[in-house]
Structure 1
Amino acid sequence: MMESRNLREGLGMETDLIIKRACSLAMAAHSKPQPSYISDDSHAIFAFPGSGNLDEWFFRKSFGNTSVDLKLFPSLRNIGNDEVAVVNAKFFQQFRNLLKENFLISDEVRFEQLLKDYQLGVEVSRAVRENKKIVFTGHSSGAPIAIFATMLFLQQNRIPAFCVTFGSPLVGDQIFGHALRRENWADYFVHFVMRYDIIPRVLLSPLSSIKGDLQSVLPCFNPSQLESIARSQQESSSFYEVMRNVLSVASHAACSVMGCSNSLMQTVTSLIELSPYRPFGTYVFCTGKGRMFNLKNPDAILQLLFYSLQLSSQEEVTEVAYRNFKDHLEYGIEIPKFRKEDVIDLDHLLLQLHSNDMGSIETAIKELGLSTRAMLCLTAASESEKQKQRNQDRIDKNWNDIEDLLKKLQEYRVKGEMREVGYYDAFKMQTKEEDFDANVKRLELAGRWDEIIEMLKRYELPDTFERRRDWIELGTRFRRLMEPLDIANYYRHDKDEDTGPYMRPDEGRQPRPKRYRYSQKWLENDKGKPAGYFSESCFWAEVEDLRIHTSDKKKVQDPLAAFEKVKDRVLKLEENVLLWVNNGLLRRDVFFEKSTFVKWWETLPLWHQNGSKIAALVKGDGRKLPSVAD
């Protein structure tokens, strides 16, 4: 049997005890209006109550989703694509209700200071001071609150916190899970799911299809009342409606990971709105037979949510419809039997599908009721993850080639400096053979990086790629050395006359290539800086646009009036020049007498030049700066 390494490595030696105590506290929390907690010498467990009120599950939209508040959770986005994660609006609002009004998130403000519940904040603060392992937990709709609390804690503290949920409905979309995996936070979340529990699947259906059935069942958090309510659901269509929608989502996801280009599937998805919600973290599927299976692969989890709830005969409908809701309340019965050595690592089995460990595979197939098609979809999801790793291995092999090309462009820049011709201006004029050679290298480098960016856009690389420090640093060097050449090429061919300036306020429509936008965002995210903070590689684009607006004789009739229109931009550029010079990002070649920058700046009104903060740099001091070869 393949024991789960995920649980053992995450929660440590006391995994069994922590999970059992978390489950007991989570189930008991429903009877209390406020979060509850217990603590021992090494752990502090905080549980959040759920709600039986349907209005606290769904918003008015079909799936009740909304974009997450980036002021609260700045990490919950795709860095390169700049897409914001989507979450369940009602669950998110319930979590917001736990926080103080008009809160201000900052590095100085700790998690416990944000809580409206004073006593809860005190207990969290005490646990942190005493170096206890923090665990947030919840059952049913209490689980999403625990998830958000854990995320905020991870964001505000430099120590880990764990989240253990039981029968949790889904919370966020693909970007939500992608962001947590990118930040290496996903391993802190463990979700237990009973095989027949419908609640972890229910948000894959629109509210309109299941509202009536859920309204009568959700208030029932008392197992003694379950019999009469659940039996009344036997003839209802809720089970079919949920599973029909789960099938649609799972089939669409399976087609995506298998690379299918089925026109019928595309037509169907254009007509039917699919749920945005997707699983994340580690899922532990409980069979009710003493065996459990864990998965981390989000695509495989989605498939298992569907295929583990399939019926072998029509006669099973009555019993399964009853168990849909009964299982949701039986974590308190199942989890006390939990032993981490009884949890089988299904991710590992799928990766080793052709190994000799067929006994564990057959056990999974039997106890989870998996069909041949189910195994095909699970294997495809596993293979998709392996392909992402192979893609990363392949681009890692290009590292040395990229380094060599950057080195040659740096040598090209140094040669220009020796002639007192900045490499931006030399490349723009294209008068020598070495300028042509530099263009060839520019195109080769651009092609290599564009391939990486396209894979990122299609989520074909591991989610952690954009947080890899080595690629962030390489991307920064690439951007700072390469982008000035792209800008020079752009204005050399007067492309601005057809497509406008190289930089535009509208991110999605500007000519600036994604290879530079993405790598800039990686650095800003890594350093915790706002968007646009590291815009030094666009220096020449701003110079060119200001030159056109203030001194282009074909377009400017009144230079003084033209200057007044862009005066604020000129002042901002000069402020940035000082900053970038001090940080070593602009060197002496920018201030050569015949550089585009100097020639443009000397066309500005004399009264501005005389009072400018960079006058000394332009008039001689700039040429005393360190060499680009340094």
Structure 2
Amino acid sequence: MELETIGFNQTKLLQHNIDINAMIRTMEAETRRLIQKNKASDAKKLNDIKRDMAQLEWYKKKSEMGYYDCFKNQGSKRDLNVEQFRGNLTMYWEDMVAQVQRKPQKEGATFRTRWLYAGTVYRRMVEPLDIAAFYREGGTDYINNGRSLHYKLLQQWYKEDGKPPSRDKLDSKKQKVSGILTEDSLFWAHVEEAILSCELLKSENCTLEQGQSSWDNLVKFEEYVMEQINNYAASPEIFLRESSFMKWWGLYEGYIDTCSNSHGSPLINFMKKRSYMKYG
């Protein structure tokens, strides 16, 4: 009887092990299937993202008044179609940034390095569109009130991985500046705030305190823009006749020509001499 019980238990244990092994094989097969499915899904997403980026590249080339201002003004059906590409790209990169945040620090750093270049191109291409929409809808202070966290992290990681440009690199950038995206994806937010400062200075309701603050902001903006120009980090399209930057310059030039605060800064000299005609 005891032998029969032992034999029964051994048979039961063997059957139990077989069941476990079968379950493990099933789980492994399911894991492989999911990995392949995810790879296929990721590949499709990547192809879709490449397509959407290509559409934005084409849109940029066709934007006669400049990429930023065409989208801000929404003057044609083509401008409206860009909303879809912008939305698709934003969802993709928000998810990618979230994946990095979920990974352990070392693994996340390795992961982000692989696609940081693509993320930087995305940021420089798409964030100006977000800025355009923000100010078109009457927003102010985009940097503090409107900027998405994923842009902040992409910029932070780029700075952590980046190196200051050498003289040779600056010479190379000078040769290629005509085709670049403006490197600082916040450039147009600074322009919009400078326009608001000019409009406030010219307003009859501007207080002495507001006037001083606006003037200080404009002086800082001049320094910022000149730094972008000297580093060949700004696209020549900022100097297109109908661009928001040239709108700012028109307001600012009119103000400094009639006020006692006029000063001969490098940017003012650059603009008054029309040196931007040779830029790029």
Pick the TM interval, shorter chain.
Answer: 0.5 to 0.7
Aligned to 1:414: 61
Aligned-pair identity (%): 29
Q: Do the aligned partners of 1:476 and 1:519 also contact (CA within 8 Å) in 2?
A: yes
Does the CA contact (< 8 Å) of 1:422 and 1:590 recur in 2? Answer: yes
Distance in 2, Cα, partners of 1:464 & 1:392: 19
Tell me what 2:158 maps to: 523
1:613 match = 266
* SS of equivalent residue, structure 1 residue 463: helix
- Residues 574 and 553 (structure 1), Cα distance of their counterparts in 2 relative to 1, 3 Å cut: closer
Q: In the superposition, relative to structure 1, how do residues 451 and 467 fare at CA in structure 2: closer, same or farther (>3 Å)?
A: closer
Counterpart for residue 95 of structure 2: 451
Deviation at 1:518, TM superposition (A): 1.6
Residue 187 of structure 2 aligns with which residue?
539
Query: Are residue 485 (structure 1) and residue 122 (structure 2) matched?
Result: no
Pair 1:521–1:594, CA change in 2 (3 A): same
**Structure-2 separation of matches of 1:480 and 1:600:** 21
Indicate how the Cα distance of structure 1 residues 435 and 597 shifts in structure 2: closer, same or farther if over 3 A, else same: same
Distance in structure 1 (CA, Å) of the matches to 2:81 and 2:88? 11
Give secondary structure in 2 for the equivalent of 1:409.
helix
Give 1:398's aligned residue: 45
How far is 1:609 from its partner? Answer: 6.3
Task: Kindly indicate which of the two structures has a greater share of residues assigned to helix.
Answer: 2
**Residue type of the partner of 1:442?**
R
Q: Is the 8 A contact 1:502 1:511 kept in 2?
A: yes
Q: Against the structure 1 CA distance between its residues 578 and 554, is the aligned structure 2 distance closer, same or farther, given a 3 Å change threshold?
A: closer
Structure 2 unaligned segments of length 5 or more: list them: 1-22, 165-181
User: What is the match of residue 572 of structure 1?
Assistant: 220
CA separation in 1, counterparts of 2:57 and 2:262? 32
TM-score normalized with structure 1 length: 0.32
Q: Aligned partners of 1:552 and 1:624: how far apart in 2?
A: 32
- Rg larger for: 1
Partners of 2:217 and 2:37 lie apart in 1 by 46
Deviation at 1:520, TM superposition (A): 0.5
How many aligned positions are there? 229
Give the structure 1 partner of residue 179 of structure 2.
none
Instruction: State the partner residue of 1:622.
Output: 276
Residue 209 of structure 1 aligns with which residue? none
Distance 2:163 2:112 in 1: 15
Alpha-carbon distance in structure 2 between the residues aligned to 1:388 and 1:456: 19
For 1:411-440, what per-residue CA distance to the aligned partner results, in whole angstroms no more than 9, with x for missing partners?
212222xx3x12111111101111112222
| Change over 3 Å in CA distance of 1:391–1:516 after alignment to 2 | farther
C-alpha separation between the residues in 1 aligned to 2:193 and 2:49? 30
CA deviation map 1:349-406 (0-9, x unaligned): xxxx947xxxxxxxxxxxxxxxxxxxxxxx9xxx9xxx99997885465334323322
Higher-strand-fraction structure: 1
Instruction: Between 401-410 and 429-438, report the one with greater CA deviation.
Output: 401-410
Deviations 1:59-114 (A, max 9, x none): xxxxxxxxxxxxxxxxxxxxxxxxxxxxxxxxxxxxxxxxxxxxxxxxxxxxxxxx
* C-alpha distance 577-494 of structure 1, shift in aligned 2 (>3 A): same
Using the alignment, how far apart are the partners of 1:514 and 1:466 within structure 2?
Answer: 20
Alignment map for 1:424-443 (pairs within 5 Å): 424-443=68-87
Q: Displacement, 1:454?
A: 3.0
Kept in 2, the 8 Å contact 1:424–1:488? The answer is yes
Q: Provide the rounded CA distance (Å) in 2 between the counterparts of 1:601 and 1:565.
A: 19
Contact 2:101 2:108 in 1 (8 A): no
- The AA in structure 2 aligned to 1:410 is E
| Residue 563 (structure 1) shift | 4.3
Matches of 1:389 and 1:581, distance apart in 2 = 48
**Alpha-carbon separation, structure 2, partners of 1:398 and 1:623:** 41
Unaligned ranges ≥5, structure 1: 1-352, 356-378, 505-509
**Structure 2 CA distance for partners of 1:611 and 1:396, relative to 1, 3 Å:** farther
Which residue of 2 is the match for residue 182 of structure 1? none
- Alpha carbons 1:466, 1:522 under 8 Å: kept: no
CA distance in 1, matches of 2:36, 2:270: 48
CA contact (8 A) 1:388 1:461 kept: no
Whether the 8 Å CA contact 2:197–2:215 is kept in 1: the answer is no
Superposition deviation, residue 453 in structure 1: 2.6
Q: 1:554 to 1:572 in 2, by over 3 A?
A: closer
Q: What is the identity, as a one-letter code, of the residue corresponding to 2:149?
A: K
Q: Is the 8 A contact 1:391 1:461 kept in 2?
A: no
RMSD: 3.7
| 1:447-491 deviation digits (Å, cap 9, x = unpaired) | 211222333344499823565444111111111111111100011
- Cα displacement string for residues 123-167 of structure 1 (whole angstroms, at most 9, x for unaligned residues): xxxxxxxxxxxxxxxxxxxxxxxxxxxxxxxxxxxxxxxxxxxxx
Aligned equivalents of 2:103, 2:37: Cα separation in 1? 13
